[in-house]
Structure 1
Amino acid sequence: MSEDILFERDNRVAIITINRADKMNSLDFAANDELVEAWREFNADDGLQVAVVTGAGGKSFCAGADLKTYTMDFANRPAPEFRSRYTNGLGIGGITRGMEIYKPIVAAINGFAISGGLELALAADIRFCSPNAEFALQDVKWGFHACDGGLIRLPQIVGHGNAMEIILSGERINAEHAMRIGLVNRIYPLDQLLQEARQYAQMLAKRAPLPQRFAKEVMKRSVGLPMEEALRMESRSFYDLGGTEDIAEGTASFREKRDANFQGK
């Protein structure tokens, strides 16, 4: 990887940083492709259990696509390369569409999360932010709408009415508003945000990895299913955990009043 995307291993936690602070951590084609590879590396590495994604500097988490790096045709429509790489591909940031990762992902949102940057944050499972964070899907201001999960994930997270307000207006909301509607889980001072996210991720990495992944998969795949079918999926997932070594270790550690040593088996 180049210096645009940083990938750090901290025990069982991956720290993925968009390192383009001078461009508000927006993603050009090359940086987006590198971020895709970072997610693939995290997903394939059995030694990594949790990821934290953040942006460099103190102003921006991610401002979405770097619009200055692709050309527009005479009708002011995105060029074919943009459509093929983003709209028809894995989406911005690699996890917004088409890449199934059932390991926990925490977003540390250190400033602006705008358009594709917000969609990247929405694709995480847990979101922490700093007080200076601002959130928006500004696409309607420029003649289009969100296309990397914003229209789908945002209503699931903040509810239909709150999502409509954000999507149809294109206006920004601040950290307090985001916390109030459930868009973020916690707010930390900027100089403590990443450390708090890392500590939280380390805590998650001490939990049993298989039930984390099974639970996340059920929660993702059950959206929109009839209740009876969704409940069967949940029950089947729980049944499948019954044959794992980790459930035996977990119950033994409870009886023996000690910390569990999960192996993901």
Structure 2
Amino acid sequence: MADLTNSLFFDGPVVLPTGGPLYLQLKRWIEDAINKGAISPGDALPSERDLALKVDVSRVTVRKAVLQLVQDGVLVQRHGSGTFVAPQPQRVEQSLSQLTSFTEDMARRGMAVRSEWLDRGLYLPSPEETVILGLSPGEHVSRIARLRLTGDTPLAIERASLSARVLPDPAVVSDSLYKLLERSGNRPIRAIQRIRAANLGAEDADLLQVAPGSASLNIERTSYLASGRVIEFTRSIYRGDTYDFVAELRIGDTPSNGAAKP
């Protein structure tokens, strides 16, 4: 463990970043120390009292700064032990130019992944599912929802909907949904994805083991067969601190109106 008396409390007065409330200045100072490697993942933060004395601020200010960093996932508090720099999860880079399943994408990176099932069942479709999947009156929808993990680190929550005609028994899905669909001749060949930034609600944050309000990437994917029929509608929530989405752009590759053709 690093000697934080020397690494964080270097000789000389502490100069906080300027601008904003004092607790946010202290928050940015601690973040900067972590980013520069002055303190590392797993290192204990000095006590609230020591920080307040060194930085010459109140303990209330220290407490507010630390609480913000805990909510952001930068620090973790362990009852009876203190406050520590949180482990930094491995970031995953995913291409937006290929249509692959989560399992296939992680396998190409040599990463072992597993799933924890949240739901598998047949349901009456919502109005949105009826329209997107083109369901007829009386048809049911198969829903599968799972938490995706590598080791003990949760990466994403996936919630997929398919027509019950395509997937009459959701319980047969084991690892890769796309591999199962390929065996029945129903693997999609293209998809439209919409990505937006969002803050996690309490339930999803708990599943992803981050603080409520943490950043996430929400992705809606509508997948198509070669015939143009929609085969799958998926909503996924990715941890913002683990995923980078990358797209290669080339001049002349898009339609003249700039929109994807259905």
TM-score range, shorter chain: under 0.3
Structure 1 or 2: larger strand share?
A: 2
TM-score w.r.t. the length of structure 2 is: 0.23
Q: TM-score, normalising length from structure 1?
A: 0.23
Which one has the bigger helix percentage?
A: 1
Radius of gyration: which is bigger? 2
